[in-house]
Structure 1
Amino acid sequence: MPIQTLATLADIDAAEWDALLPPAQPFLRHAFLSALEDSHSVTPATGWRPAHRVLRDPQGRLCAALPAYVKAHSYGEYVFDWSWADACQRAGIRYYPKLLVGVPFTPVAGARLLGEDEGLQGLLASLGEEAEASGLSSIHVNFTDARADTLLAARDGWLERLGCQYHWHNRGYRDFQDFLEALSSRKRKQLRKEREQVGGQGIEFEWREGGQLSELEWDFVYLCYANTYLVRDRDPYLSREFFGLLAERMPEAIRVVFAHQRGKPVAMAFSLVAGDTLYGRYWGCLAEFDRLHFETCFYQGLEFAIGAGLARFDAGAQGEHKLIRGFEPVLTRSWHYLAHPGLRDAVAQFLEQERAGVRAYAEEALGLLPYRQA
């Protein structure tokens, strides 16, 4: 059967889509991706035109799919290609529109090529042909898993890009104190002092599941989230409706920690739980407090992960300050197909140098970790 392009995920049954997913892929679930669309956070008006690719076998069974978007800009991707777009503009080459395969506003590695290998090979071949025939400058597959890396590395024309994030790994800690004991004396004292500073300001914390929050509490969550953008004179990527839809569609995956001072909420951090991992996604505060960000976004998450027996805590992209708090450097990958031969050659040279630099940085960053030497 021919490959279909879906203008909305509403055109496919949720159970059918989710059946293609490997375990523990919360951001690829139909519930998450459709909430982005239905809340108008992801629309052509915001520069994200859904163009999901699906392939069915002769019996009509869904056998392969790609979550894909035609992009009119590079915002909300977290794999930064602005310099490529600038170079194209100077050279008189049109860079937009481009096609992104990934999850909007979500720098979390995971499945990107869904379904059976044979069907995916057909989808990938069609993407390359489409880029050259329809005016798309390029195709980008961001934050891939090992399976996508293998499939894309075997295809001609795809360029690998490396990035570096910081993830915490649970080494079987009994509690937060046990984690602290694994650190050097100086770093252990620093973390204790930071936590004491927050407690000394009269701030207490409460964890809640998604289905337990009232509409007023969701209003507060959104107010905090939006404030992280508004203080920088930027519009938030996500709408209030998105959080409401997510609470309806996947409440069991949501965890929100509230920070209270004298009974009044002052900050929050929003996370998802799937499989053995806690994913820290959004945070915000309505007043400034010393070390509150570190406590709300990192130490509370570490404590939660240990208590829940989770193996990993992915607290979001960037943030070298995570290293001294026990988050280890982890390489991420994305893959890029550029239709213009000259642009492809230039980017290939750039990426070769960048990969070497990223690998060297990640190796150097290991030396900044706070753990005691064995």
Structure 2
Amino acid sequence: MRDLKVRIASSAAEISQDTWNEIGEPGHPFLNGDFLRILEESGVAIPAAGWQPLHLVATQAQSVVGLLPLYLKTHSHGDFIYDWNWKSVWERFGHRYYPRLVSGLPYTPVAGSRLLISKRCTNGDQVRQALVDAARQVVTDNGFSSWHAALASPADIETLEAAGLLVSHDVQFHWNDADFGDFDGFLQSFSAEKRRKVRAERRRAVESGLRITVRHGGDIGADEWPALHAIYKSTFDRFGNYAAFSPECFAELATTLGDRMVVFTASDGVEPVALSLCFRSNDTLFGRYWGARRQVDSLHFELCFYQGIDYCLREGLTRFEPGAGGEHKIARGFTPQIVRSAHWIPDPGMRRIIAPHLERQQSGVAAYRDDATTHLPFRKSVASLA
């Protein structure tokens, strides 16, 4: 333990690719150095955009044994902490909430490991504790309000809660394969009425006359990304939100991640009309971005949900996480799942205020999950297994 040290890396690129390959998750599109490096180098996750990389690197005997992705954030956009009201609470008591530290994936609501430990490490618990202690020390040394581990894995939540972090709860909707075989097999698990509704939606998408294609990142030329990006950006513009990614960022992600990026596109024979941009690991498809140049009946459901389920069943993926929010996913066979984040709040007074709020939230989220489960489209014999 005496030679276990933690340092700060000012960029993902400062950490060698060999280290990321050894410590990250094999085949994962996000828990690797490529994704974070490209977002940082393309201007998506940089200080000017409110994301200052301060990644923690644990070393022992001159070898990297642990990583904790970490950003200094000056806003709450794109980190999925859902702490929009916390700023006013801090200010009411004479404190400043921003900046604060966040461990997570920029603009990516995907749960997973945040305390990344080398597979060769024989003292993993000590390394995890060293990373936690280092993150808390950064908060203390700089007078930051807090540190948040966004959408951490169950194992990480256990470690963080034991270390004194508060835990928040939220619900996402995920699809899981139950040996359906193909899409028709999946629909056989639905009640008759719900099955008819899905088939009607898919039929309307076909009757639109649009041609749907499925391609991986390496199959898409760099010259195609400006048009695809314009479709992605249109959704954000429509709702007055900020489209963080650039065409160049998408193009480099596509080239670098290759088969780990999956793009579902609907075209009218001349140009793309809509797209759903996803990523995949060895067993999970992650839905991320949707955009359309015009409204087409049921096309959103087709590109964002049904094509993704079809893809999973063809490719042998067992899980589909289509993104945050969206109660409309329930009727399409996505089950409610509780996801959690952890929060280090060093100020005792602010901690006493936030802790009861998170306790009430936990019971409310659990009740919501239970209620949402009763609205799943599955036949009763199947729903009892969900």
TM-score interval, normalised by the smaller of the two chains: over 0.9
> 1:228 offset after TM fit, Å?
1.2
Deviations 1:172-222 (A, max 9, x none): 112211111110011011111111111111122111111111123222221
- Structure 1 distance, partners of 2:114, 2:264, is 29
Q: Counterparts of 1:235-274 in structure 2 under 5 Å?
A: 235-274=242-281
User: Which of 110, 126, 129 lines up with 1:121 in the alignment?
Assistant: 129
Partner of 1:179 in structure 2?
Answer: 186
SS in 2 for 1:28: coil
Do the aligned partners of 2:69 and 2:114 also contact (CA within 8 Å) in 1?
Answer: yes
Instruction: State yes or no: 1:50 paired with 2:58.
Output: no
User: Which of 1, 6, 9 lines up with 1:3 in the alignment?
Assistant: 6
Alignment root-mean-square deviation, CA: 1.3
> 1:223 offset after TM fit, Å?
1.3
AA of the residue aligned to 2:256 = R
Deviations 1:257-310 (A, max 9, x none): 111224532111111111211111111111111111111101111111111121
AA of the residue aligned to 2:338 = L
Do the aligned partners of 1:110 and 1:144 also contact (CA within 8 Å) in 2?
Answer: yes
User: Which of 218, 225, 229 lines up with 2:232 in the alignment?
Assistant: 225
Do the aligned partners of 1:97 and 1:135 also contact (CA within 8 Å) in 2?
Answer: no
SS in 1 for 2:85: helix
- Structure 1 distance, partners of 2:210, 2:54, is 45
Instruction: State yes or no: 1:133 paired with 2:136.
Output: no
Partner of 2:113 in structure 1?
Answer: 111
Partner of 2:218 in structure 1?
Answer: 211
Instruction: State yes or no: 1:17 paired with 2:34.
Output: no
> 1:113 offset after TM fit, Å?
0.4
- Structure 1 distance, partners of 2:247, 2:225, is 8
Do the aligned partners of 1:142 and 1:334 also contact (CA within 8 Å) in 2?
Answer: yes
TM-score, reference length from structure 1: 0.96
Deviations 1:54-97 (A, max 9, x none): 0111x210011110000111111122101111111222211011
Deviations 1:231-258 (A, max 9, x none): 2233311122211221222112111111
Instruction: State yes or no: 1:151 paired with 2:159.
Output: yes
- Structure 1 distance, partners of 2:111, 2:8, is 24
SS in 1 for 2:30: helix
| Structure 1 segments unaligned to the other structure (5+ residues) | none
- Structure 2 distance, partners of 1:332, 1:234, is 24
| Structure 2 segments unaligned to the other structure (5+ residues) | 118-123, 382-386
What fraction of aligned residue pairs are identical, expressed as a percent? 37
Instruction: State yes or no: 1:39 paired with 2:42.
Output: yes
- After the TM superposition, which of the residue ranges 114-123 and 95-104 deviates more from structure 2? 114-123
> 1:38 offset after TM fit, Å?
0.8
- Structure 2 distance, partners of 1:42, 1:130, is 19
Do the aligned partners of 1:202 and 1:262 also contact (CA within 8 Å) in 2?
Answer: no
> 1:24 offset after TM fit, Å?
4.4
TM-score, reference length from structure 2: 0.94
AA of the residue aligned to 1:203 = L
AA of the residue aligned to 1:135 = G
- Structure 2 distance, partners of 1:43, 1:136, is 18
SS in 1 for 2:380: coil
Q: Counterparts of 1:332-343 in structure 2 under 5 Å?
A: 332-343=339-350
AA of the residue aligned to 2:84 = W
**Count of aligned positions:** 372
Q: Counterparts of 1:219-368 in structure 2 under 5 Å?
A: 219-368=226-375
AA of the residue aligned to 1:64 = G
Deviations 1:303-338 (A, max 9, x none): 111111211111001000000100000110100011
AA of the residue aligned to 2:369 = A
Partner of 2:79 in structure 1?
Answer: 77
- Structure 2 distance, partners of 1:219, 1:242, is 11
- After the TM superposition, which of the residue ranges 352-361 and 143-152 deviates more from structure 2? 143-152
- Structure 1 distance, partners of 2:240, 2:155, is 39
AA of the residue aligned to 1:239 = S
Do the aligned partners of 2:171 and 2:338 also contact (CA within 8 Å) in 1?
Answer: yes
AA of the residue aligned to 1:122 = A
- After the TM superposition, which of the residue ranges 324-333 and 124-133 deviates more from structure 2? 124-133
Q: 1:263 to 1:176 in 2, by over 3 A?
A: farther
Deviations 1:94-122 (A, max 9, x none): 10110001111110001100113212211
SS in 1 for 2:45: coil
> 1:31 offset after TM fit, Å?
0.5
Do the aligned partners of 1:272 and 1:279 also contact (CA within 8 Å) in 2?
Answer: yes
SS in 2 for 1:111: coil
- Structure 2 distance, partners of 1:25, 1:272, is 9
Instruction: State yes or no: 1:188 paired with 2:195.
Output: yes
